[in-house]
Amino acid sequence: MEKQMANDARPWLLAECNYEYVKNADIRVAVIPLGATEPHNLHLPYGTDVYEATIIGERICAEAFQRGAAVSLLPTIPFGVQTNMRNLPLAMNVNPATLDLFLIDLVDSLVNSGIEKIVLLNSHGGNDFKPLLRTLAGRDQTVFLCDWFKMVQDVYDSIFDHPEDHAGEMETSLALAYFPHLVATQPDGSLMADEGATRDNRFHAVNQGWVQITRKWDRLTTNSGSGYPHAATAEKGEQVMALICNRLSQFLLELSESRLDDDFPFVESTS
């Protein structure tokens, strides 16, 4: 099978596959990575979420594929919901309803190709896809959602010292590990970043989480960062990546091997 491919093409990445390979391939799981184009404090690039989604997607699909999963990673969608960053330059907004329609079209293309197990690998906190999952719930295909930045909370404190929100310690650690050439530093080697401090809301109920809002990012932050980035290291980035890859590659393998029977995705009934 693989000799149908160009020498350096990785068969788990759709963008690198040719038609000769794809028309004969048995692909059962598709992963759609979603990033964003937005400021990340003063030191990380606008494409941070795109790089994160792509690197995580490539690694989990490589590992799952090499263990036997019939999985394909789609190209990363570089834009996301930025309605709360409207006042920051070149935060490239796609409204939630538009993004949902776009994803429904992609899901239809996958289903049309016989792929009914679909994973959204979301790298951007402004994207909220649970309503989309509910919209699609009545269909035959099953769409799974992973907000990867939420999946390490049980071990977060064993790796990091400061909470992550946006361009903080975790994101900066991943950047230092996987795209260090795009992390801006001062002449003394420290990050070209401020403290990532944010303002409290004036309402106690909002600060407690009893009442929710979406936060206007230009008022909340000083330079778009929310979370202290200066404790970041490449080693911490590698640690969290290893954890994400272990968890998600195992999931992709199980998903690939799971039969689309009448009980899917629940355990088989014993009766």
The span of 47-55, 192-200, 210-218, 241-249 binding Zn ion (CB under 5 A) equals 47-55
Q: Which residue, 72 or 93, is less far from Zn ion as judged by CB?
A: 93
Query: In the complex, what is the shortest distance from the CB of residue 154 to Zn ion, in angstroms, rounded to a whole number?
Result: 21
The span of 17-25, 43-51, 98-106, 155-163 binding Zn ion (CB under 5 A) equals 43-51
Q: Which of 33, 35, 49, 172 forms a contact with Zn ion (CB under 5 A)? A: 49
The span of 41-49, 65-73, 232-240, 243-251 binding Zn ion (CB under 5 A) equals 41-49
The span of 17-25, 42-50, 126-134, 186-194 binding Zn ion (CB under 5 A) equals 42-50
Query: In the complex, what is the shortest distance from the CB of residue 38 to Zn ion, in angstroms, rounded to a whole number?
Result: 7
128: Cβ contacts below 8 Å, ≥ 6 apart: 81, 96
Query: In the complex, what is the shortest distance from the CB of residue 193 to Zn ion, in angstroms, rounded to a whole number?
Result: 13
Query: In the complex, what is the shortest distance from the CB of residue 18 to Zn ion, in angstroms, rounded to a whole number?
Result: 33
- The tokens describing 28, both together, are 């059962």
Q: Which residue, 49 or 63, is less far from Zn ion as judged by CB?
A: 49
Query: In the complex, what is the shortest distance from the CB of residue 80 to Zn ion, in angstroms, rounded to a whole number?
Result: 10
Packing angle between helix 169-178 and helix 48-66, nearest 10 degrees?
Answer: 70
Q: Which residue, 115 or 120, is less far from Zn ion as judged by CB?
A: 120
Residue number of the CB atom closest to Zn ion: 49
Query: In the complex, what is the shortest distance from the CB of residue 162 to Zn ion, in angstroms, rounded to a whole number?
Result: 15
Interface positions with Zn ion (CB under 5 A): 48-49
